[in-house]
Amino acid sequence: MCGIFGVFGHREAAKLAYFGLYALQHRGQESAGIAVSNGREIREHKGMGLVAEVFDEETLVQLKGHIAVGHVRYSTTGASALKNAQPFCVTHSKHTYGIAHNGNLTNSRELRERLEAQGSIFQTTIDSEIILHLLAKVASRGIEEALTIVMETIEGAYSCLLLTEDKLIAFRDPHGFRPLCLGILNGGYVVASETCALDLIQAQYLRDIRPGEIVIIGKDGLQSIQAIPPSPRQARCIFEFIYFARPDSNVFGENVYLIRRSLGERLAEEARFDCDFVMPFPDSGNYAAVGYARASGLPFEMGVIRNHYVGRTFIQPSQSMRDFSVRVKLNPVKEIIRGQRVLVVDDSIVRGTTSRTRVRAIREAGASKIYMVISCPPIRFPCYFGIDFPSRGELIAARHQVEEIQRYLDLDGLHYLSLEGMLAACRAEDGSFCTACFTGQYPIEIRTDLSKNILERHP
C-alpha cells in the first residue's frame, strides 16, 4: 500500500509532485517524500506524517528542478521509521538514483541475504533498497539493460518510479498487480498510481504503463521498452476496486465508482432482507450502498456520519484505543436509526473488530434489526503483494464461518458477495485479476527462484 507520482518537464516539478501526492494520500499516511532533479543533481525531502505535514512552501521552494518523484507510504510491517520513507536515494559511480515503489517483492528476503553475503550494507528494510543494490551491480550496462536485468531478477508486485539526474523512469511488474498510469501536461509527462492525481493537476491521461514495460522519459521524449513479456497470468489486484483506489480514479481501464456501484447492484441480486432502508459505513461502503439502493428500490440514508478530521493521533495500536478510534470516526444519527430495520453496506471485513464496534453503535442508537452486506467475498488469505492484510490468524474469515461472523458482529443477517458476483461486477471474469485473498490461489508461487538471479550471473 503506497502511492507514487512522477513528473518530467515542469518548472515546478516538486510542487506538482506535492499536489499529486495530496491526491494519493489515501494510499498511505505514514510518511511522504519528494526527490527532485534539476538535470544535474538530485535533492530530496522526506518526513513522517501526511503530505501537508511533511511539506510547506519553504521546503518546496528548496526543491528546485524539472523532474520529480514522490511517494506516500503505508507501512504494513516493520518499523515505521523515517529511514524507511521514500523516495530512497543513493549515489553510485558518481550517479544519483531515487526510487519510489508501490507493491511488495516476494523474493526480497532471499535477494537481501544473497546481497548481504556479497558484502552489501543495507540502510533500510524496504524492498526499494534491494532494487537499487541490484541496479548498481549492472548499472555500467546502461539504464535500459540494467533495469531489464533487475526486472528479470525481482519477483512479486512492483509499480516503480526511478529518478536519475536527467530522466524519469517508470516500470511495472509483468503481472500488473498495482496500477500505474501515464499522462501529459503542457508537453511534459506525469506518471501516477491513480488517475485522480492527474485530474488534480489537470494533466491528460494517456495510457497505463504496461505490465513488464519500462518507460524512460528524457529531454528527447519518451521511450518505451517491453523489457520482459507480460505474464500470461495477469494478476491485477481486485482489492484496488473493492477498497483501495479512490472512486474518482480509473484503474485497470475501469472507473472505480462505477465498479463499486455495480458490486452493490450484484449484492442486491444475491441477498434481500426485510428492512426499511440501506445505509453505508462511510466512506468505504458508500458506492456499493448506492448500487444496492438503486437495484433494490429501497430508500438510501446516511445513518452514520463520518468525522473527516480525525487525525492519526487517534490511531493507536492497542485494542481499547482502536475501539475508541472507531467511535470517534463514525457516529450514528439516532433520529434516523431508532426503531428501524437497517441494512448496512460495507466493502470488506478484515479482522472484524472495526465492524463489530460500528454495529454495536447502531444497536445502541436503537436499530430494531441490523443486516449487513459486504461487497466482496470473505477474506481468508494474506496478501503478499502489498495490501495490508494481517496473518491468517487475525483474518476473521480464515477461522470462522459466515454464521459465526454474523454472531460475533451481533447481526440479524449477513451476506458476503459471491466470488462470481464480484468477478462479474468488476468485469474480471477473464482471469486477469489476483483474487488470492479470497481463494488462496496465488498467481505466483511464494518462493524464490535463484536460478535466473543476476547475482549468479553477475557476482
C-alpha cell at 247: 472512486
Gyration radius of the chain over CA positions: 23
CA–CA dist 141, 145 (Å, integer): 6
> What minimum distance in Å lies between the beta carbon of 356 and ligand AMP?
6
Half-sphere CA count of 46, side-chain side, radius 13 A:
23
Tell me if residue 196 is catalytic: no
Total interface residues for ligand AMP by CB under 6 A? 16
237 assigned to a ligand binding site:
yes
Residue 351 vs 369, nearer CB to ligand AMP: 351
> What minimum distance in Å lies between the beta carbon of 349 and ligand AMP?
5
Phi and psi, residue 98, nearest 5°: -125, 135
284 assigned to a ligand binding site:
yes
Residue 352 vs 366, nearer CB to ligand AMP: 352
Cβ-in-10-Å burial (0-12, 13-18, 19+) of 207 comes to exposed
CA–CA dist 208, 198 (Å, integer): 12
> What minimum distance in Å lies between the beta carbon of 306 and ligand AMP?
11
346 assigned to a ligand binding site:
yes
User: Which residue bears the cell 513522517?
Assistant: 48
> What minimum distance in Å lies between the beta carbon of 134 and ligand AMP?
29
User: Which residue bears the cell 429501497?
Assistant: 298
437 assigned to a ligand binding site:
yes
> What minimum distance in Å lies between the beta carbon of 352 and ligand AMP?
5
Residue 165 vs 388, nearer CB to ligand AMP: 388
Residue 88 vs 281, nearer CB to ligand AMP: 281
The string of DSSP codes covering 1-44 is -EEEEEEES-TBHHHHHHHHHHHTGGG--SEEEEEEE-SS-EEE
CA–CA dist 305, 259 (Å, integer): 24
- Residues 368-387 vs ligand AMP: string with x where CB under 6 A? -------------------x
Taking CB under 6 A as the criterion, the residue among 128, 284, 296, 375 binding ligand AMP is 284
292 contributes a contact to ligand AMP by CB under 6 A: no
CA–CA dist 375, 384 (Å, integer): 22
- Residues 338-367 vs ligand AMP: string with x where CB under 6 A? --------xxxxxxxxxx------------
347 assigned to a ligand binding site:
yes
Cross-sheet strand order for the sheet of 277-280: 277-280, 341-346, 369-374, 413-416
Residue 272 vs 306, nearer CB to ligand AMP: 306
80 contributes a contact to ligand AMP by CB under 6 A: no
CA–CA dist 152, 109 (Å, integer): 16
Residue 148 vs 435, nearer CB to ligand AMP: 435
Residue 26 vs 45, nearer CB to ligand AMP: 26
3-state secondary structure of 127: helix
Q: Assess contact for 353 and 320: CB atoms under 8 A.
A: no
> What minimum distance in Å lies between the beta carbon of 1 and ligand AMP?
7
> What minimum distance in Å lies between the beta carbon of 242 and ligand AMP?
8
210: CB partners within 8 A, 6+ apart: 172, 176, 226, 230
434 assigned to a ligand binding site:
yes
3-state secondary structure of 208: strand
3-state secondary structure of 57: helix
243 contributes a contact to ligand AMP by CB under 6 A: yes
Cβ-in-10-Å burial (0-12, 13-18, 19+) of 292 comes to buried
Q: State the maximum Cα–Cα separation within the chain, in Å, rounded to a whole number.
A: 72
Residue 243 vs 381, nearer CB to ligand AMP: 243
CA–CA dist 136, 145 (Å, integer): 12
Catalytic residue among 2, 89, 275, 376: 2
Q: Assess contact for 74 and 30: CB atoms under 8 A.
A: yes
388 contributes a contact to ligand AMP by CB under 6 A: yes
Q: Assess contact for 90 and 136: CB atoms under 8 A.
A: yes
> What minimum distance in Å lies between the beta carbon of 26 and ligand AMP?
11
- Residues 389-428 vs ligand AMP: string with x where CB under 6 A? x---------------------------------------
Taking CB under 6 A as the criterion, the residue among 22, 158, 281, 438 binding ligand AMP is 281
CA–CA dist 141, 162 (Å, integer): 17
Using CB under 6 A, list all residues that contact ligand AMP. Answer: 243, 281, 284, 346-355, 387-389
Active site residues: 2
Question: Which residues make up each annotated binding site for [4Fe-4S] cluster?
Answer: 237, 383, 434, 437
The binding site for Mg(2+) consists of 284, 346-347
- The annotated binding site is made up of 237, 284, 346-347, 383, 434, 437
